[in-house]
Amino acid sequence: MSLPLPDLRFFKPQEFVRPADANGQPEAWSARMQPRLLVLLDTFRFMWGKAVDVSPAPGALGRYWGQSDSQHNIAKWGEVRAVDVMTEGLKTADDFQRAIDLARSIGFTGVGIYPDWSPSPGLHLDVRVDREPGDPALWGALSIAGKQQYFGVAHVLAAVSEGGN
């Protein structure tokens, strides 16, 4: 069941469309995204004060991953509960900490930091239901020998501060 898209200030439905799937059809995720996620994403963009774009990566919105617990997994949850974004001005450990603090303060319940994403550093933001607003699940990832490896936020922030991983 899809709900009407909330009235967003910064994001438009076309930003939640991905290139054609194996059947040649574009995947329009906007109507399948958790409305609270969209409202919080729009609020995050307003409060961040700089561009926040949906990541161009194929799995940045919804994914069909069987029983995977990923908040992107529409097959498991029946809705998209997560979005990956590229955020202007996200370079230093202080920038990442500010993004975490902002995401926490507006109610995201899952926040991942990814300083090594391409084409630019990014964030995973979600509205998982097993965490309370103000107490999100937090993690980070670094690219090590070309593979994304997951760590605690403190480890990733330290790596960013040191200028590498």
CA nearest neighbour of 65 among 53, 74, 55: 74
**pTM of this prediction exceeds 0.85:** yes
In the chain, where the domains are located? 13-161
pLDDT in tens, 77-114: 999 999 999 999 999 999 999 999 999 999 999 999 99
Domain topology for 13-161:
Muramoyl-pentapeptide Carboxypeptidase; domain 2 (3.30.1380)
Whether the upstream peptide bond of residue 119 has omega within 30° of 0, thus cis, is yes
Cα 76 to its chain centre, rounded Å, is 18
**Residue 40 burial (CB < 10 Å; 0-12/13-18/19+)?**
buried
Q: What is the distance between the alpha carbons of residues 37 and 34, in angstroms, rounded to a whole number?
A: 5
pLDDT in tens, 24-82: 666 788 888 999 999 999 999 999 999 999 999 888 998 888 778 999 999 899 999 99
- What integer pLDDT is reported at residue 25 of this predicted model? 64
SS3 53: strand
Per-residue pLDDT, averaged over 121-126, amounts to: 98
pLDDT at 2 over 60: no
